């Protein structure tokens, strides 16, 4: 069949809207009509050329929601008409990683997914001239129709609105999950969140849900102060305006009459900047502070700290997709949204047509959006 898609033809170039060919689902695969997709900073990261795994031409997008329209042979867990959220972190429930119960990072199809291919090593997308176009993160939600492995879709309730729950496909689950699954934040904790964008604000609402007492937001854009407060931030720090070094400033902020050591119980990097990642580790509490790396850093970037920071009990951790097991956890997060436990609507600041998708990247570059969502 033919479908409309925004194609990343080359790194650093705007996406091009075009008709492309899409082959039907093979064994173990499903075709999904994407109804809505968010634009995540990671799409921008790959389009910019900073992603070591970035390959072109490709159809980007990994934060979608839609309806199953066709299933290939052997598919049993979903059927046409089911509402689904594509999963860039699949859940096969059979691989050593899934069976370990120690990680959400299913490894069943990671090799081919990272090469922009389906598990059989081929692409379902091609140009109208027949040249292959690569998949992206196993999702390619910047296409109106896409094909995914069965293990890479989460079946969700049918009364949930696509234009909101698409955000659960990455940003919401990543932010809230980093707090609940990765850090396992406890009631009364003190936390620092670096970068109050589409991910950081979800970390903040996750901290509020977990019962954190002190939620410090750090951002170089003052417009983010009101955004953070909207979701539970208690203090805002703009590093450019404090006139002193950020780490001791944050440590001081967390001191109490009973604890003059100071430091956050938890910190979260939601910027992808390796200098910020170091600050995030070093502002945590001696003896027990945990810093969670969420941001994705460009090719060649490396993190640094004195090993003494770890010797004295600070822990550096990372998280992908908030530690969530997609087919199991994503339907529950959709329920949390529908029950009013978590907010999504105010974070969706812009609705766009596919033709205007590049405007979503412009808004992100200018720091004017939290999430732009494309409606098909
Ligand atoms: P975003 O562009 O919406 O937000 C980034 C925020 O960081 C902005 O508010 C910006 O002003 C702020 N910022 C930039 N430099 C800063 C600095 N030096 N100090 C403080 N704040 C600074 O991006 P997003 O969609 O929220 O994504 C954030 C990061 O998370 C990206 O690197 C993205 O690739 C990554 N990400 C990771 C996962 C994962 O599973 N690990 C999932 C989604 C996104
Ligand atoms: N390809 C990059 C890394 C990109 C990355 O870390 N992706 C995250 C999800 S970001 C979603 O917005 C992820 O899930 N990582 C685990 C994985 O297996 O990709 C690189 O640096 O090579
Ligand atoms: Zn993302």
In the chain, the domains with their CATH numbers are 2-169+344-375 (3.90.180.10), 175-319 (3.40.50.720)
CB of 294 sitting under 6 A from ligand 1: yes
253, 267 Cβ separation under 8 angstroms: no
CB of 88 sitting under 6 A from ligand 1: no
- Rounded to 5 degrees, φ, ψ at 336 are -60, -40
Tell me whether residue 17 is exposed, middle or buried, using C-beta atoms within 10 angstroms of its C-beta: 0 to 12, 13 to 18, 19 or more. middle
pLDDT confidence of residue 230? 98
Angle value at C-alpha 374, between 370 and 376, nearest 5 degrees: 160
CB atoms within 10 A of CB 345: 10
Among 53, 63, 199, 318, name the best residue to mutate to test ligand 1's pocket (greatest count of ligand atoms within 8 A of Cβ).
199
pLDDT confidence of residue 96? 98
Query: Ligand 3: distance of its center to the CA of 192 in Å?
Result: 21
Among 105, 197, 216, 320, name the best residue to mutate to test ligand 1's pocket (greatest count of ligand atoms within 8 A of Cβ).
197
Which parts of the chain register pLDDT below 50?
none
Q: Is the dihedral of CA 33, 350, 272, 194 positive or negative?
A: negative
pLDDT confidence of residue 240? 98
* Of 326, 184, 190, 166, the residue nearest 250 (C-alpha): 190
CB of 104 sitting under 6 A from ligand 2: no
Among 43, 45, 320, 330, name the best residue to mutate to test ligand 2's pocket (greatest count of ligand atoms within 8 A of Cβ).
320
Active centre residues (catalytic): 40-42, 62-63, 92, 95, 98, 106, 110, 170, 371
- Rounded to 5 degrees, φ, ψ at 288 are -150, -5
179, 232 Cβ separation under 8 angstroms: no
pLDDT confidence of residue 365? 97
pLDDT confidence of residue 348? 98
Q: pTM (2 decimals)?
A: 0.98
CB of 176 sitting under 6 A from ligand 1: no
CB of 89 sitting under 6 A from ligand 2: yes
CB atoms within 10 A of CB 300: 7
């Amino acid at each position: 069949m033919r479908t409309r898609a925004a194609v990343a033809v080359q790194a650093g170039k705007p996406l091009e809207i075009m008709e492309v060919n899409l082959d039907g689902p093979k064994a173990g695969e499903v075709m999904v009509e994407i109804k809505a997709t968010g634009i995540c900073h990671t799409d921008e990261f790959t389009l910019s050329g900073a992603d070591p795994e970035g390959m072109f031409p490709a159809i980007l997008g990994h934060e979608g929601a839609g309806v199953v329209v066709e299933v290939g042979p052997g598919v049993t867990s979903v059927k046409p008409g089911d509402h689904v959220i594509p999963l860039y972190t699949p859940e096969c429930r059979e691989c050593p990683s899934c069976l370990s119960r120690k990680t959400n990072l299913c490894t069943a199809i990671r090799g081919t997914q990272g090469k922009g291919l389906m598990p059989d090593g081929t692409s379902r997308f091609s140009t109208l001239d027949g040249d292959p176009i690569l998949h992206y993160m196993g999702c390619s939600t910047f296409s109106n129709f896409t094909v995914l492995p069965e293990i890479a879709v989460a079946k969700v309730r049918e009364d949930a609105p696509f234009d909101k729950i698409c955000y659960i496909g990455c940003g919401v689950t990543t932010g809230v999950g980093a707090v609940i699954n990765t850090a396992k934040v406890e009631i009364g904790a003190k936390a620092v969140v670096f970068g109050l964008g589409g991910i950081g604000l979800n970390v903040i609402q996750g901290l509020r849900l977990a019962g954190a007492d002190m939620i410090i937001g750090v951002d170089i854009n003052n417009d983010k102060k009101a955004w953070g407060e909207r979701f539970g931030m208690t203090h805002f720090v703009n590093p450019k305006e404090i006139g002193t070094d950020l780490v001791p400033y944050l440590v001081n902020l967390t001191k109490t009459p009973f604890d003059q050591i100071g430091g956050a119980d938890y910190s979260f990097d939601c910027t992808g900047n390796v200098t910020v990642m170091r600050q995030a580790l070093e502002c945590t509490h001696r003896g027990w502070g945990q810093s969670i790396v969420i941001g994705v850093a460009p090719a060649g970037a490396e993190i640094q700290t004195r090993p003494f920071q770890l010797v004295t009990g600070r822990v550096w951790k990372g998280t992908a997709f908030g530690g969530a097991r997609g087919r199991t956890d994503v339907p529950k997060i959709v329920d949390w949204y529908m029950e009013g436990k978590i907010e999504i609507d105010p974070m969706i600041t812009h609705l766009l047509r596919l033709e205007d998708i590049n405007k979503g990247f412009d808004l992100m570059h200018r720091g004017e959006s939290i999430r732009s969502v494309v409606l098909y």
